[in-house]
Amino acid sequence: MRVTILPDREVREVDARSVGELLKTLGLHRDAHLVVRGQDILTSDVSLSEGDQIEVWPVISGGRR
Protein backbone atom coordinates (compact mmCIF):
# COMPACT_ATOMS: atom_id res chain seq x y z
CA MET A 1 0.00 0.00 0.00
CA ARG A 2 0.97 3.64 -0.42
CA VAL A 3 2.24 5.24 2.79
CA THR A 4 3.02 8.95 3.12
CA ILE A 5 5.43 9.83 5.92
CA LEU A 6 5.08 13.36 7.27
CA PRO A 7 6.37 16.07 7.62
CA ASP A 8 8.38 15.71 4.36
CA ARG A 9 5.59 13.67 2.69
CA GLU A 10 8.01 10.92 1.69
CA VAL A 11 6.00 8.23 -0.15
CA ARG A 12 6.78 4.53 0.41
CA GLU A 13 5.18 1.33 -0.90
CA VAL A 14 4.79 -0.99 2.10
CA ASP A 15 3.37 -4.48 2.46
CA ALA A 16 1.71 -4.79 5.89
CA ARG A 17 -1.46 -6.41 7.16
CA SER A 18 -1.96 -4.21 10.25
CA VAL A 19 -0.97 -0.82 11.66
CA GLY A 20 1.42 -2.47 14.14
CA GLU A 21 3.07 -4.43 11.34
CA LEU A 22 3.33 -1.29 9.20
CA LEU A 23 5.28 0.61 11.88
CA LYS A 24 7.48 -2.43 12.51
CA THR A 25 8.24 -2.72 8.77
CA LEU A 26 9.14 0.97 8.63
CA GLY A 27 11.28 0.61 11.80
CA LEU A 28 9.27 3.27 13.64
CA HIS A 29 8.37 3.33 17.36
CA ARG A 30 4.67 3.16 18.19
CA ASP A 31 5.00 5.88 20.84
CA ALA A 32 6.65 8.30 18.42
CA HIS A 33 4.10 8.09 15.58
CA LEU A 34 0.40 8.15 14.76
CA VAL A 35 -1.01 6.29 11.77
CA VAL A 36 -3.89 8.04 10.02
CA ARG A 37 -6.30 6.80 7.31
CA GLY A 38 -8.46 9.58 5.88
CA GLN A 39 -9.48 11.60 8.94
CA ASP A 40 -9.11 8.68 11.38
CA ILE A 41 -6.25 7.80 13.71
CA LEU A 42 -5.83 4.02 13.77
CA THR A 43 -4.94 1.72 16.68
CA SER A 44 -2.17 -0.84 16.13
CA ASP A 45 -4.55 -3.81 15.70
CA VAL A 46 -6.47 -2.30 12.74
CA SER A 47 -6.21 -4.34 9.53
CA LEU A 48 -4.93 -2.61 6.42
CA SER A 49 -5.69 -3.41 2.81
CA GLU A 50 -3.83 -2.83 -0.43
CA GLY A 51 -5.83 0.20 -1.57
CA ASP A 52 -5.53 2.12 1.72
CA GLN A 53 -4.03 5.62 1.65
CA ILE A 54 -2.07 5.85 4.87
CA GLU A 55 -0.24 8.74 6.52
CA VAL A 56 2.33 8.39 9.29
CA TRP A 57 2.56 11.45 11.55
CA PRO A 58 5.64 11.92 13.73
CA VAL A 59 4.84 13.27 17.20
CA ILE A 60 8.26 14.00 18.67
CA SER A 61 9.64 17.52 18.95
CA GLY A 62 13.02 18.45 20.37
CA GLY A 63 15.29 21.24 21.51
CA ARG A 64 15.09 23.15 24.80
CA ARG A 65 11.56 24.17 25.63
Partner 1 sequence: MRCHTCRGPANVEIRRSRTAYCARCYPAWFRTQVQERIDHERMFRRDQAILVAVSGGKDSLALWHTLTELGYRADGMYIRLGIGDYSQRSQAKSEAFASERGLTLHQVDLKEGQGFAVPDLLDTRSGKPCAACGTVKRYHFNKMAADLGYEVVATGHNLDDEAATLFGNVMHWNVDYLGRQGPVLESTHPKLVRKVKPLYRLSERETAAYAIIERLDYILEECPMAKGAKSLAYKGMLNALEEEQPGAKYGFLVGFLKQGRHAVPGGDFDQATDLRECTRCGQPTTGELCAYCKMADRGRKKSASKAAKYAR
Q: Is 49 in the site for partner 1 (CB under 8 A)?
A: no
- Binding flag, residue 62, partner 1 (CB under 8 A): yes
CB of 65 to partner 1, least distance (A): 6
Using rule CB under 8 A, residue 60 touches partner 1: yes
CB under 8 Å to 6, separation ≥6 — which residues?
A: 55, 56, 57, 58
Return the number of the residue (40 or 50) whose C-beta is nearest partner 1: 40
Could you say whether residue 36 binds partner 1 (CB under 8 A)? yes
Does position 47 interact with partner 1 (CB under 8 A)? The reply is no
Cα 10 to Cα 5, 45, 46: the distances in Å are 5, 24, 23
